[in-house]
Structure 1
Amino acid sequence: MNTNKPKSAPLGKLAIGALILTSVFAWQRMAYSAEEAVSIAAPKMDIPAGSSHSAQAVFSGGCFWGVQGVFEHVRGVTQVVSGYSGGAASTADYETVSTGETGHAESVQITYDPTKVSYGQLLQVFFSVAHNPTELNYQGPDHGSQYRSAIFPLNDQQRQVAAAYIEQLNKAHAFSVPIVTKLEPFKGFYRAEDYHQDFLVHNPDHPYIRINDLPKIQYLQHLLPADYQQNPVLVAGVSPQV
Structure 2
Amino acid sequence: MKTEKAIFACGCFWGVQHQMERATGVIRTTAGYIGGHKENPTYPEVKAHTTGHAEAVLVEYDAEQTTYTDLCKLFFEIHDPAQTDGQGPDIGPQYRSEIFYLNDEQKQEAEKVIQILRDKGYEVNTQLTPATTFWPAEEYHQHYYDKTGGEPYCHIRVKKF
Alpha-carbon distance in 1 for matches of 2:20, 2:101? 17
Instruction: Within 5 Å, give how 1:61-80 maps onto structure 2.
Output: 61-80=10-29
CA-to-aligned-CA distance 1:104-134 (integer Å, 9 cap, x gap):
00000000000100000001100012x2111
Deviation for aligned residue 1:92 = 1.6
> Of residues 177, 180, 196 in structure 1, which corresponds to 2:125?
180
Alpha-carbon distance in 2 for matches of 1:74, 1:122? 8
User: What amino acid is aligned across from residue 151 of structure 1 in structure 2?
Assistant: I
Output the aligned Cα RMSD.
Answer: 1.9
Deviation for aligned residue 1:88 = 3.2
In structure 2, the residue matched to 1:230 is none
2:88 is equivalent to residue 140 of structure 1:
yes
Q: Give the count of matched residue pairs.
A: 160
Alpha-carbon distance in 1 for matches of 2:104, 2:5? 13
In our comparison, the structure showing a higher alpha carbon Rg is 1
Q: As a proportion of its length, which structure holds more strand? A: 2
Alpha-carbon distance in 1 for matches of 2:25, 2:40? 32
- Which stretches of structure 1, 4 residues or longer, exceed 2 Å deviation after superposition? 88-91
In structure 2, the residue matched to 1:35 is none
Asked if structure 2 preserves the Cα contact closer than 8 Å seen for 1:64 and 1:83, the reply is yes
In structure 1, the residue matched to 2:146 is 201
> Of residues 98, 116, 135 in structure 2, which corresponds to 1:150?
98
- Secondary structure of the 1:109 match is strand
With normalisation by structure 2, the TM-score equals 0.92
With normalisation by structure 1, the TM-score equals 0.62
Fraction of identical pairs, as percent: 38
User: Which is bigger in relative contact order (C-alpha 8 A, separation at least 6)?
Assistant: 2
Alpha-carbon distance in 2 for matches of 1:223, 1:74? 15
Q: Which runs of 5+ in 1 are unaligned?
A: 1-51, 225-242
Deviation for aligned residue 1:164 = 1.8
Alpha-carbon distance in 1 for matches of 2:68, 2:82? 21
Asked if structure 2 preserves the Cα contact closer than 8 Å seen for 1:106 and 1:147, the reply is yes
Q: Which runs of 5+ in 2 are unaligned?
A: none
Q: As a proportion of its length, which structure holds more helix? A: 1
- Secondary structure of the 2:83 match is coil
